[in-house]
Amino acid sequence: MLVQADGLWKRFKGVAVLQGLSLAVPEGSTVALVGANGAGKTTTMKVLVNLLGPSAGTATVFGVDTRRLSPRELAQIGYVSEHQQLPGRMTVSAYMDYLRPFYPTWDRSLEGEIVGQFRLPPDRRIGDLSHGMRIKTMLACALPFRPRLLLLDEPLTGLDPLVRDEFIDRLKRQRGETTILVSSHELAEIEEVTTHVAFVDGGQVKFQEALSDLAARLRKVTVILPDDVPCPARLPGAWLDVRQAGTIVSFVDTQYSALDLPARVGAIFGAVNRIDAEPIALRTIYTALARAFRDEEASA
């Protein structure tokens, strides 16, 4: 694994933000860290680039303990965060001039391509740029050295749709060459570049799975009943976000099987008029799982 975290804890003034978090990022993948605000996503990324040291547990990048990352490893890591501070008095081109010597693999041709694609104004001071232009400047500074690992912490927050499209298009071009770990609430945008999903809640990764496998086993199911009768009190635990409106019952099936679904539905409702199952987007997957985890914690 290019990135491996095992049992990470991070405490701030006695408050545990990370609580035994474990994560694996395969080389060449794009892993989406999804979770609510305060779940521990940003703290995890800061530990991985040694901006923070863990209170307990271990994390490695390229097989090196993150607390011992040398300039050699750091020169292969790109990091973009919505909270990242940039030197506002420097121009875009002067900032790139400053960064270039730190990265032996910096590609001036790629730099020019990215600056052109993003239409960055080289002679404008960074402090005078719009929020979207500053985010694009961060990415334009994180990609020309062709990093093996790119960490993106909420990079799409506050960006207009066009800037988001340009940002995602550039990530598509980097796939395969760069392993990406991205945290974002804009799940519809990042879904098309995501290969794996790690669900973070309460400072822990509740599960990690290839997006293709996750999408295959989750379906939005709609059942049309012959009569307007209430759902039974006991329903399969694999059915999440169950809702009823008259004779229509819908839920997210987390153990979907086209062969088994009719029998499983029949065992609960008896004869039904119709059963429909359709794939669901990453955003819907997240909200269904997040609601289930929240309800589970509330009933504990």
- The tokens describing 206, both together, are 């509740």
pLDDT category at 229 given cuts 50, 70, 90 is confident
Q: Out of 3.90.220.20, 3.40.50.300, 3.40.50.1010, 3.30.470.20, select the CATH number for domain 3-210.
A: 3.40.50.300
Buried b (16+ CB within 10 A) or exposed e, 104-136: eebeeebbebbbeebebeeeeebeebeebbbbb
pLDDT at 45 over 80: yes
Is residue 293 pLDDT above 80, yes or no?
Answer: no
Looking at the predicted structure, is the pLDDT value of residue 296 above 80?
A: no
Dump pLDDT digits (tens) for 193-223.
899 999 998 899 998 999 999 888 999 999 9
Q: 124 pLDDT exceeds 70?
A: yes
For 231, which DSSP code?
P
Assess whether pLDDT exceeds 80 at residue 66. Answer: yes
Residue 84 has pLDDT above 90, yes or no: no
pLDDT value, residue 297: 67
| Token pair for 178 | 């760069």
| Interval 134-150 mean pLDDT | 92
pTM over 0.85: yes
Structure tokens at 213: 């496998």
Over its C-alpha atoms, the chain yields an Rg (Å, rounded) of: 22
| Band (299; pLDDT cuts 50, 70, 90) | low
What average pLDDT does the chain have? 90
| Domain positions in the chain | 3-210, 219-279
* pLDDT of res. 157: 75
Query: Which pLDDT tens digit goes with each residue over 248-283?
Result: 999 999 999 999 999 999 999 988 999 999 999 888
Residues 6+ apart with CB under 8 A from 202: 19, 39, 40, 297
* pLDDT attached to residue 17: 94
